[in-house]
Structure 1
Amino acid sequence: MQLYAGLGCRRGCPARELAALLQQTLFAHHLPASALAGLASIDLKAGEPGLHELARQLGLPLVFFSAAQLAPFESRLSHRSPTAFALSGCHGVAESAALALAEQRGGANAALRLPRTVQGAATLALAWAPPFDG
């Protein structure tokens, strides 16, 4: 199983806060950190040092998507935030980014594995691309 983490954060969120949310979420759901295959966020966060530091620490690729690239995933979100949309043009950064990366890397069968979790200044969602049973 490969998991793809979508991350959102407030400006200046440190890597340690993002890492703590990721580690706690994986642990709480009995998911191995070794299953993580990549991290993603919205391109508005491309300048966030915490995201880049987390990717470096984990040795994982970090991919950024535009709001237009994330828009097709809106119907699959567990929560639509008017506030997030007003700030970013996307109704759910973490879930949309996780789905976009899972679909890009794993195929069109991508689905949320865990909906968004918010802790402090960080938001996380996990997606995966389950094998196609067709």
Structure 2
Amino acid sequence: MSGTTNNDGRTRIWLVRDSALPLGERLRDGLGAILVQPWLDEQESDGTAAATSQRERFRAAFADANRWVLVMATGIATRMLDGLPHSKLSDPAVVVVDEAARFAVSLLSGHEGGANALAYEVARLTGAVPVVTTATEALKPLVVGIGCRRGVSVDQIEVAVKHALAGRRMDDIREIATIDLKADEPGILAFCERHALPLRVFSHAQIAARPWTSEPSSWVRENIGLDGVCEPCALLAAPRGSLAVRKTALNGVAVAIAEDSPDWTEHV
């Protein structure tokens, strides 16, 4: 999973009602996607008939995209998808996001098809929590929080992360976490791309509400208005974990590592 956006025209967003249009437009613009508003062509006045028509239209369009974002309840999505999936190696990636953009759920073709990565893309665009349940990602115990000066290179970030890992395996990293101010930082994005890692982004308000920082930084306080970035980001992204590596700063890059409790992963 990486931090790149698919702009090949085969990402589609399906809405079930016009109240979700602002969210759909934000996703369309952020993902370079086609926005589908099926009610525009529906002539039925009966709600049941209209729902049936939506299911039929979705079934006909399902294979035309390689990535779907369904803005609806998971129950509706499950009924619309009934009978369509054939193989995780060929099915389109499907992510479901509720209209309040609280959760972005990787529902179909998570690892092989790219739905896990798509869930993180949707989460970064909307502030939703990405929900990934595939064992390949879910059982990786480490989350790396990163804060950095503007313009640091991918190699600077690489050296700083490896220094903080101190012998831990890069393959055990589940995701990278940072503040929304760094969501488009080229070095962080390139590092995620290099190691196929998803990027989790937290807002200033989310971090301020849970400012877990072992060593407050006067520079961060003066420039961002927080006591720290890397430690609270790592801990926010690992709610069942604890801080395994406190903030380490190297060449303009601050790194902290949170690790899931061994007792938790052993019983999953």
TM-score range, shorter chain: 0.7 to 0.9
Q: Which residue of 2 aligns with 1:49?
A: 186
Match of 1:84 among 181, 202, 220: 220
List gaps (5 residues or longer) in structure 2. Answer: 1-139
Describe how 1:114-125 pairs up with structure 2 within 5 A: 114-125=245-256
Distance 1:73 1:111 in 2: 14
Secondary structure, aligned partner of 2:210: helix
Secondary structure, aligned partner of 1:118: strand
- How many residue pairs get aligned? The number is 125
Moved over 6 A (4+): none
Deviations 1:24-76 (A, max 9, x none): 222x3x311111000011101112100000000010100111111112332x3
Q: CA deviation at 1:121?
A: 1.1
Contact 2:164 2:256 in 1 (8 A): no
2:156 aligned with 1:20: no
Distance 1:72 1:22 in 2: 26
Q: Which residue of 1 aligns with 2:142?
A: 3
Contact 1:13 1:121 in 2 (8 A): yes
Secondary structure, aligned partner of 1:102: coil
Please tell me the residue identity of whatever aligns with 2:260: A
Q: Which has the larger radius of gyration?
A: 2
Q: Which residue of 1 aligns with 2:123?
A: none
Q: Which residue of 2 aligns with 1:106?
A: none
Please tell me the residue identity of whatever aligns with 1:57: R
Q: CA RMSD in A?
A: 1.7
Match of 2:204 among 48, 64, 67: 67
Deviations 1:78-131 (A, max 9, x none): 11123212212221101011111112xxxxx32111000000111100002213
List gaps (5 residues or longer) in structure 1. Answer: 104-108
TM-score, normalization: structure 1?
A: 0.85
Please tell me the residue identity of whatever aligns with 2:232: S
Distance 1:65 1:118 in 2: 20
TM-score, normalization: structure 2?
A: 0.44
With CA pairs under 8 Å and 6+ residues apart, which has the higher RCO, 1 or 2? 1
Distance 1:84 1:90 in 2: 6
